[in-house]
Amino acid sequence: MSQTTKPHPSASLYVGDLPPTVTEGMLFEIFNHVGPLASIRVCRDTLTRRSLGYAYVNFHSVVDAERALDTLNNTPIKGKPCRIMWSQRDPSVRKSGVGNIFIKNLDPAVGHKELYDTFSAFGNILSCKVAMDETGASKGFGFVHYENAESADGAIRTVNEKVLGSKKVFVGKFVPKKERMQQKEASWTNVYVKELDPSVTDQELELKFTPFGLVTSCVIMRGDEGESKGFGFVNFGRHEDAVNAVEGLQGLVIGGKPIWCGRAQKKTERESELKKKFKQLKMEHMTRYQGINLYIKNLEDDIDEDRLRKEFSAFGQIRSAKIMSDEKGNSKGFGFICYSTPEEAQHAINEMNSRILQGCQKPLYVALHEPKEVRRQKLAQRHANRTKHMRPNLSNVPVGPGVFGAPPPVYYPAPGGNQFVYQQPPQPTMVPRQPTRGPWPNPQQPQQYPIQTGAPQYVQTRPNRGRGGGQLGSGGGRGRSNNRKNTPIGPGQEAVGLVPGELTLQQLDAYPPDQQKLLLGERLYPLIQKVQSPLAGKITGMLLDSGWSIEELFSLLNDEEKLSVKIEEAVSVLNRAQQQDETVNNEYRGHPPDAPDSH
């Protein structure tokens, strides 16, 4: 049992190590048994709306929050032990490292709970964690963060070099990674040697290094049959001797081959350095060709690199010209041209963009080449802007992870504590605005868009896009009006309650048609994503816009076989559409419009 904690400034708890499918409703069911809750929020990615693996649970009472910390910490949620600690709004407390200790050589059976029970006797613990791999197995080390340095020092003195489980553990002050790397670089003694001739023996290698100082070990790594792998390690007793050996033996010929030697590094350290070098080279490459590399598309199949270079040579000195091709050598219809100066590249853009080359039918598209990361950021920003301006305000609808963007919801218990509801913030009023381009059924009607004025509250509904003359779906669907409307909410009226767990048709019936589809889409998307992750968004949209009734869409949530069939049908439709596009493109290249076939 942990010792009694001091009253905390707030009754807010941080709940970490959560599986991505955990929702506010699940956490409400767990924490509501401890005491009345003020709010719950699962933190999500702003774009994808996927869970970040942690949440904040706020109680009305600090006593209830403390009880939840003592009784629910390390409780399995969906098979994974959660990690609960007081919410630290001040990042300096976490970053200072005061009271933070590191434990290694842990027995695999020691988890969060066992570590907490062992170290809670020395003081108030703010955070306790055993590092886990992707499978949930212990990595053999962990961390305990105390409220003060005195508790941490007491734990180090008492537990260091003691047996915990079946292993003798090391306990010491936590040292940030940057400082550890600096310490290693200032005190390393192990030398890595590569490019070794296969005939070189351990004794011959050690003989070359002993003039520089005391060698404590020397080994050449070998395969199963004893053959040399071409590298080995030489460890010195002093750091200075290892440095002198590296400087003195670099490039020395041993057994007919010059060797390479340097400080021995762990795999993670080497990977980190390689990533940094790759990133640096990539940035240098981007900087070197920024403003001079052009992207050209809509190239006809018969245009080769010589023709491309000839057409663009009039605007400056071309450093390189490349047309991308597939594995069969056929042109992909786009390529790149690199000029010597940005002025030449800009001149080529001004003259060649939208120009139709002789003997061709399509106008060229010419623009500055953008790296993939820049294009991805622009597309994400464009999608966010389009979503912001074209989608109605659905902030009153509780949403989870999925393809439908919305502000992060915060859930509150209803009066009495038995019902779990979403409390919406003050809603904006709706003012007419001219319709924008989009799949709206009635473009003559002005659309309603929100502006922040603090006027009376409204809930906006968007017309559904089902079949059957404005009905939600064909056959057995509820006949609902296709007209857009704004339903006023009285000041004393509560938002619609969201019951955690399974969704029922009766609960769906409490929402307007559009919001019913939104809720169903949020439930369908993760199920589809398990089967067809790259196409999950498209398939979800196809199902929602298929014209099926709410009952038919709802049945997919509970019928895995039926959903699998619908997913296969959707994938088949998408594949056929892609094949038709490719056929049309091929026919277009071979037979331009209005051109008679030759016989």
CATH 1.10.1900.10 fits 385-398+425-494+502-573, yes or no: yes
| Domain 189-263: CATH class, spelled out | alpha beta
Question: What residues does each domain of the chain span?
Answer: 12-168, 189-263, 290-368, 385-398+425-494+502-573
* Contact between residue 458 and residue 490 where contact means Cβ atoms under 8 Å apart: no
Q: CA 516 to CA 549: how far, in whole Å?
A: 11
CATH, domain range 12-168 = 3.30.70.330
- Answer yes or no: pTM beyond 0.85: no
**Bridge partners (DSSP) listed for residue 228:** 222
Q: What pLDDT shows up at residue 361?
A: 84
Q: What pLDDT shows up at residue 358?
A: 86
* Residue 548, both tokens: 């099926």
Q: What pLDDT shows up at residue 243?
A: 92
Q: Do the first three CATH levels of 12-168 and 189-263 match, i.e. the same topology?
A: yes
Q: CA 186 to CA 239: how far, in whole Å?
A: 8
Secondary structure of the chain: what % helix, strand, coil (to 5)? 35, 25, 40
Name 253's Cβ contacts closer than 8 Å, sequence gap at least 6.
Answer: 259
Amino acid code (one letter) for 60: H
* Residue 487, both tokens: 């339903």
Closest CA to 347 of 315, 370, 318, 320: 315
CATH 3.30.70.330 fits 290-368, yes or no: yes
* Residue 331, both tokens: 């042109």
Residue-by-residue pLDDT tens, the chain, 599 positions = 344 344 455 789 999 889 989 999 999 999 998 999 999 999 988 777 889 999 999 999 999 998 998 888 888 898 888 888 888 766 666 667 788 999 999 988 888 888 888 898 898 888 888 888 877 788 899 999 888 889 999 999 999 988 888 889 999 988 887 777 777 777 889 999 999 999 999 999 999 999 999 999 999 999 988 899 999 999 999 999 999 999 999 999 988 899 999 998 888 788 888 888 888 887 777 777 778 889 999 998 888 999 999 999 999 999 999 999 988 888 999 999 999 899 999 999 999 998 888 888 889 999 988 877 777 777 777 777 766 555 544 444 444 443 344 444 555 555 554 444 444 444 444 444 444 443 333 434 444 333 333 333 333 334 344 333 333 333 333 333 333 333 334 333 333 344 445 677 777 777 877 788 888 888 888 889 888 888 888 888 888 887 777 877 888 888 888 888 888 888 888 887 777 666 545 544 444 444 334 33
Instruction: Indicate the length of the chain as a whole number.
Output: 599
Q: Please count the CA atoms within 13 angstroms of the CA of 226 that sit on its side-chain side.
A: 3
Q: What pLDDT shows up at residue 583?
A: 59
Concatenate the DSSP letters of all residues of 90-149 into one string: -HHHHHH-TTEEEEES--TT--HHHHHHHHGGGS-EEEEEEEE-TTS-EEEEEEEEESSH
Q: What pLDDT shows up at residue 164?
A: 86
* Contact between residue 165 and residue 106 where contact means Cβ atoms under 8 Å apart: yes
Residue 263's alpha-carbon distances to 191, 517, 577, in angstroms, are 5, 60, 57
- Give the Cβ contact number of residue 355 at 10 Å: 11
Q: What pLDDT shows up at residue 278?
A: 83
